[in-house]
Amino acid sequence: MIRLDNISKQNGRQILFIEASAALNKGEKVGLVGPNGAGKTTLFRMITGEEAPDEGQVAVDRGVTIGYFSQDVGEMAGRSAVAEVMDGAGPVSAVAAELKELETALGDPERADEMERLVERYGEVQARFEELGGYALEARAREVLAGLGFGQEMMDGDVGALSGGWKMRVALARILLMAPDAMLLDEPSNHLDLESLIWLEQFLKGYEGVLLMTSHDREFMNRIVGKVVEIDGGALTTYAGDYAFYEQQRALNENQQQAQFERQQAMLAKEIRFIERFKARASHAAQVQSRVKKLEKIDRVEPPRRRQSVLFEFPPAPRSGEDVVGLRKVRKAYGDRVIYEGLDFQVRRKERWCVMGVNGAGKSTLLKLVAGATAPDDGTVALGGSVKLGYFAQHAMDLLEGEQTVFESLEDAFPQAGQGALRALAGCFGFSGDDVEKRCRVLSGGEKARLVMAKMLFDPPNFLVLDEPTNHLDMATKEMLIAALADYEGTMLFVSHDRHFLAALSNRVLELTPEGVHQYGGGYTEYVARTGQEAPGLRS
pLDDT (tens digit, 9 = 90+) per residue, 131-176? 877 778 889 999 999 999 999 999 999 999 998 889 999 999 999 9
Give residue 139's Cα distance to chain centre. 29
SS3 state of residue 57: strand
459 vs 212, which has greater pLDDT? 212
Cα–Cα distance, 323 to 319 (Å, whole number): 11
Summarised one tens digit per residue, pLDDT across range 169-205 is 999 999 999 888 999 999 999 888 899 999 999 999 9
Summarised one tens digit per residue, pLDDT across range 87-134 is 877 667 677 778 888 888 888 888 888 888 888 898 988 888 888 777
Q: Output the pLDDT for position 11.
A: 85
Q: Which residues pair with 348 in a beta bridge?
A: 323
Q: Output the pLDDT for position 539.
A: 60
Q: Output the pLDDT for position 417.
A: 87
Q: Which residues pair with 508 in a beta bridge?
A: 353, 521
Quick one: which of 106, 108, 87, 107 has its CA closest to 96?
Answer: 87
Cβ neighbors of 134 (< 8 A, separation 6 or more) are 92, 95, 96, 99
Cα–Cα distance, 82 to 173 (Å, whole number): 9
Of the chain, the percentage scoring pLDDT greater than 70 comes to 97
Please give the model's pTM, rounded to 2 decimal places: 0.81
Q: Is there a contact between 62 and 178 (Cβ–Cβ < 8 Å)? A: no
Strand order in the sheet with 14-24: 14-24, 2-11, 55-60
pLDDT at residue 288 is higher than 70: yes
Q: Which residues pair with 212 in a beta bridge?
A: 30, 184
What's the mean pLDDT in 370-374?
Answer: 94
Q: Output the pLDDT for position 91.
A: 67
Q: Is there a contact between 168 and 190 (Cβ–Cβ < 8 Å)? A: yes
Cα–Cα distance, 268 to 274 (Å, whole number): 10
Residue 245 vs residues 184, 225, 305, 366: alpha-carbon distances, Å: 22, 11, 19, 38
SS (H, E, C) 443-502: CCHHHHHHHHHHHHHCCCCCEEEEECCCCCCCHHHHHHHHHHHHCCCCEEEEECCCHHHH
Q: Is there a contact between 143 and 179 (Cβ–Cβ < 8 Å)? A: no
Q: Output the pLDDT for position 107.
A: 85
Average pLDDT of the chain is 89
Cα–Cα distance, 307 to 398 (Å, whole number): 30
Q: Is there a contact between 465 and 389 (Cβ–Cβ < 8 Å)? A: yes
Radius of gyration over every alpha carbon of the chain, rounded to an integer in angstroms = 29
Cα–Cα distance, 364 to 456 (Å, whole number): 18
Quick one: which of 155, 178, 173 has its CA closest to 89?
Answer: 178
Lowest mean pLDDT among 205-214, 465-474, 486-495: 465-474
Q: Is there a contact between 9 and 64 (Cβ–Cβ < 8 Å)? A: no
pLDDT at residue 480 is higher than 90: no
List, as one string, the DSSP characters of 369-397: HHHTSS--SEEEEEE-TT--EEEE-GGGG
What's the mean pLDDT in 438-456?
Answer: 87
Q: Is there a contact between 449 and 192 (Cβ–Cβ < 8 Å)? A: no
Cα–Cα distance, 455 to 459 (Å, whole number): 8
Cβ neighbours around 287 below 10 Å, total: 13
The alpha helices in 234-374, defined as continuous H runs, are 243-278, 285-297, 363-371
Q: Checking DSSP bridges between strand 389-392 and strand 378-383, what pairing results, if any? A: unpaired
Cα–Cα distance, 196 to 166 (Å, whole number): 12
Lowest mean pLDDT among 99-113, 218-232, 236-250, 341-355: 99-113
The one-character DSSP state at 257 is H
Summarised one tens digit per residue, pLDDT across range 337-363 is 999 999 999 999 999 999 999 888 899
Q: Residue 308 — pLDDT band, cuts 50, 70, 90?
A: low
Q: Output the pLDDT for position 310.
A: 60
pLDDT at residue 253 is higher than 80: yes
Q: Is there a contact between 507 and 337 (Cβ–Cβ < 8 Å)? A: no
- Percent of residues in the chain assigned helix, strand, coil, to nearest 5: 45, 25, 30
The one-character DSSP state at 430 is T
328 vs 300, which has greater pLDDT? 328
Cα–Cα distance, 445 to 472 (Å, whole number): 6
Quick one: which of 224, 184, 208, 246 has its CA closest to 58?
Answer: 184
Q: Residue 540 — pLDDT band, cuts 50, 70, 90?
A: very low
